[in-house]
Amino acid sequence: MKNLSFAINDLTAAPIRSPMEALILAGLLFTGSAAGVLGALFGLGGGFIFVPVLMLVFGLAPTEAVAVSLIGIIAGSVGASTVFVDRGLSNIRLGLLLELTTAAGAIMGAIVAGYLEEWVLMCIFSAIVLYSALRMIMNPEKVIPPSEGSDGRFAFEYRDEAGNENVKYQVENVKGGMALCTVAGMISSMTGVGGGAVKVPLMNIYMHVPIKAASPTSSYMIGITAFSGAITYFLSGQVLLEYAAGIAIGAFAGSLLGTVLASRLHTRHLRKYFSVLLVVVAILVLLQAGGVL
């Protein structure tokens, strides 16, 4: 299918006719769905799934895989956000604030990327993610309710359907969180991985945002982060449109399923599963750093 696909500046459309190509399309839809479910459940973009699968299974070049991956990340993020934002689970205001420094960090990362070894950054990223996983496994969630004298701009509330309660929370360490998001944005843009895997633990452990709000907020932010990269690849003609469509349709469907599952999971289970997923992400990134993937 790859040689029949086309970039935007190749206007001779390529047909998907053979059974093998239909099978590839089914594989793309499945890959997108799987990443979409995980993305909506845990606030991850899914790049750690998309890129290796597109390269190893579908035979795409690294640049092509990253370009298609970014489209899938946006589809999953926007799909989940249509539900999470509407229900008030995604904290739009906090997301905008943290996205400010994440985006600034991403720009800085793109500028200095040429001066640093990528494998070193990937190892640092894995260490941070593993540390976050351990913290989430060992420490219970600490939610601080708003009190008199606390900054009202950072007091929020959401409806926990699984617990059947309204949860009020005060976001702590806002300046520190913004600074750390700059670092997260830098590492993310230099390595191509890491948005949600860093931001969710950061919000949950350091800023005391309940994971039921942190994951949807991260889902919302990830699409904004992916926008700059995606538009660049798109306008330079590096997006394989058929692959992108297959992945995006799957990611959207998966993200809707993920929002249903997320509303049914209890906080304790969500944190536990998220910690396990972080360990898997760290191992995958280490394998990439070592050139195995």
Binding positions for other proteins, rule: CB under 8 A: 6, 8, 10-17, 25, 71, 74-75, 77-79, 81-83, 85-88, 90, 92-93, 96-97, 99-100, 103-104, 106-107, 110-111, 153, 223-224, 226-232, 234-236, 239, 241-242, 244-246, 248-249, 252
Least distance between other proteins and beta carbon 288 (Å): 22
Pair 222, 39: CB distance under 8 Å: yes
Q: Quick one: 124 or 241, whose CB is closer to other proteins? A: 241
Least distance between other proteins and beta carbon 8 (Å): 5
As a whole number of angstroms, the distance between CA 29 and CA 201 comes to 29
Least distance between other proteins and beta carbon 99 (Å): 6
Q: Quick one: 25 or 180, whose CB is closer to other proteins? A: 25
Q: Quick one: 158 or 274, whose CB is closer to other proteins? A: 158
Residue with tokens 């941070």: 128
Least distance between other proteins and beta carbon 28 (Å): 10
CA–CA–CA angle 33, 79, 134 (5° rounding): 70
Q: Quick one: 133 or 247, whose CB is closer to other proteins? A: 247
Q: Quick one: 173 or 238, whose CB is closer to other proteins? A: 238
Least distance between other proteins and beta carbon 292 (Å): 29
